[in-house]
A = this chain, B = another copy of it.
Amino acid sequence: MRKTTGQVDTDIFAAIAHPVRRQILDTLLQGDMTVTALSAPFDVSRSAISQHLGILMDSGLVSMEKRGREHYYQLRPDNLNEIARWIGQYEHFWQQKLDALGDYLDEMAAQDEQEKS
């Protein structure tokens, strides 16, 4: 069942796990696009792309707007913040490691200095 509320009901990490879905998102960076236009670069059927778009809709990463008989898909990247925040933890961790390395190197330099005297 597809969502009727504004709520996201599929895991956003799983949504970006598939390379085709990531490439769809990358393409949408250039602007809104229809399904057939999006399907063109891929060697899978338009139906498959449509299903991928359904998953991206469920995860809230894209939205759709009907314009005549064409469905224009639009990037809605604010939900990627969840991933950015998750990764942020690790950048913090990485920074701590660098700081520790820096302290270590400083300490070694201080020891070298002391040995010289």
Contact with B along A91-109 (1 / 0, CB 8 A): 1011000000000000000
Given contacts A29-B93, A75-B93, A93-B29, contact A86 B13 (CB under 8 A): no
Choose from B25, B75, B87 the contact partner of A80 (Cβ within 8 Å): B87
Beta-carbon contact of B17 and A14 below 8 Å: yes
> Could you tell me the distance in whole angstroms from the C-beta of A21 to the nearest C-beta in chain B?
10
What are 24 A-B pairs at a CB distance below 8 A?
A11-B17, A11-B19, A13-B16, A13-B17, A13-B22, A14-B17, A17-B17, A22-B86, A26-B89, A29-B89, A29-B90, A29-B93, A75-B90, A75-B93, A77-B90, A77-B91, A78-B94, A80-B87, A80-B90, A80-B91, A83-B83, A83-B87, A84-B87, A87-B87
